[in-house]
């Protein structure tokens, strides 16, 4: 059964005595199979599962898509209802941020400026602000995050270490459409033509993995290999990096087995991110 609440007080009533493990799946809604895979994992491992839906204003810059971000709570609830007993937590902005500043609000790490942080310098600070607050509000034993947002996953793990948060952060596999596009709530921004072009990213990832497994370890050559698949002139490549899987530091000369290939590119109005291990 699915139950919805808006405040921490209501949430605590629904959670009751908290016997066993509480799992949290933080989302911004507009749910798809990628989100549902996190919820399924939480339901398998936890006694109670909370899915939060909150479009977090602090992770959007003024020129970004906060206002137009899809908000589809009713259909999100219907999708979750098919999975099992889930508490859907849809707090207001005041419920999340009403208590004012916290030490996490000035939290910074060198990793915030890498990769996605280059074009979105505000982003990881905003993510940490909201995830920290959600952890405090919900008090989960486990929290589920997708490898789709690989940099975010590593940064949240680091935040838990830095603030001594006793939450087991579980990383979940990236879920793709049948043609390879990484599922994302923002994919619906694309025109049909852009959607057809978008699979070039996955073609690029596969080509790099193949080149690496055939012995090409040169970062410059692997990067060229990725770029060669983005044949549509519309692409605006933000970055294509091979990074240490935990440090997120870019390799400059040679890639090592287990590294992460991580990319971001803009197609029209849609910014797509993707990654895979090599
Ligand atoms: P979002 O609603 O985009 O903030 O995402 C909420 C959570 O779902 C994050 O932990 C994401 O990494 C995860 N997620 C989003 N898309 C996918 C996907 N295609 N595969 C796996 N996890 C995903």
Is the Cβ atom of 125 under 6 angstroms away from ligand 1? no
Q: Which of 147, 113, 151, 115 is nearest to 250 (CA)?
A: 115
- Is the Cβ–Cβ distance between 154 and 246 less than 8 Å? yes
The answer to whether the pTM exceeds 0.95 is yes
Neighbours of 261 (CB within 10 A): 23
Residue 120's alpha-carbon distances to 60, 113, 135, 139, 237, in angstroms, are 8, 8, 24, 29, 14
Q: Which residue owns the Cα nearest ligand 1 atom 7? A: 27
H or E segment at 3? Answer: strand 2-5
Range(s) of the chain covered by CATH 3.40.50.620? 2-172
Q: Which atom of ligand 1 is nearest to the CA of 173?
A: 21
**Catalytic residue check, 35:** yes
- Is the Cβ–Cβ distance between 147 and 139 less than 8 Å? no
Range(s) of the chain covered by CATH 3.30.1300.10? 190-270
C-alpha 26 to ligand 1 mean position (Å): 9
pLDDT of 18:
86
Strands 168-172 and 48-53: unpaired
Neighbours of 5 (CB within 10 A): 18
CATH number assigned to the domain with residue range 2-172, chosen from the 4 options 3.40.980.10, 3.40.50.620, 3.40.640.10, 2.40.110.10: 3.40.50.620
pLDDT of 19:
81
Q: Which residue is associated with the tokens 């899809």?
A: 70
C-alpha 122 to ligand 1 mean position (Å): 19
Neighbours of 237 (CB within 10 A): 15
Is the Cβ atom of 131 under 6 angstroms away from ligand 1? no
- Is the Cβ–Cβ distance between 96 and 137 less than 8 Å? yes
pLDDT of 76:
98
φ, ψ for residue 122, nearest 5 deg: -85, -15
Query: Which of 41, 148, 157, 184 to mutate for ligand 1's pocket (most ligand atoms within 8 Å of CB)?
Result: 148
pLDDT of 88:
98
Q: Which residues of the chain have pLDDT under 50?
A: none
Q: Which atom of ligand 1 is nearest to the CA of 184?
A: 16
Find the catalytic residue in 32, 35, 63, 122. 35
190-270 CATH: 3.30.1300.10
């Amino acid at each position: 059964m699915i139950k919805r609440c808006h405040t921490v007080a209501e949430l605590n009533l629904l959670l009751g005595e908290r016997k066993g493990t509480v799992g949290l799946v933080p989302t911004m809604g507009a749910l798809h199979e990628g989100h549902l895979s996190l919820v399924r994992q939480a339901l398998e491992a936890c006694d109670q599962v909370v899915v939060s839906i909150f479009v977090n204003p602090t992770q959007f810059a003024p020129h970004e898509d906060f206002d137009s971000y899809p908000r589809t709570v009713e259909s999100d609830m219907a999708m979750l209802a098919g999975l099992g007993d889930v508490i859907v937590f849809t707090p207001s902005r005041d419920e999340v941020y009403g208590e004012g500043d916290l030490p996490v609000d000035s939290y910074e790490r060198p990793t915030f400026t890498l990769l996605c942080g280059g074009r979105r310098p505000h982003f990881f600070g905003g993510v940490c602000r909201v995830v920290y607050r959600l952890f405090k509000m919900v008090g989960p034993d486990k929290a589920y995050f997708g490898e789709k947002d690989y940099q975010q996953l590593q940064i949240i793990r680091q935040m838990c270490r830095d603030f001594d948060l006793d939450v087991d952060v579980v990383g979940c596999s990236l879920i793709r459409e049948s043609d390879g596009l990484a599922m994302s709530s923002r994919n619906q921004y694309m025109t049909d033509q852009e959607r057809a072009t978008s699979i070039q990213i996955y073609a690029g990832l596969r080509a790099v993995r193949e080149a690496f497994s055939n012995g090409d370890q040169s970062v410059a050559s692997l990067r060229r290999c990725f770029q060669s698949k983005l044949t549509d002139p519309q692409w605006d490549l933000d970055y294509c990096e091979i990074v240490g899987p935990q440090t997120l530091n870019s390799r400059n000369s040679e890639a090592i087995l287990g590294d992460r290939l991580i990319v971001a590119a803009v197609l029209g109005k849609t910014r797509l991110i993707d990654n895979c291990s090599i």
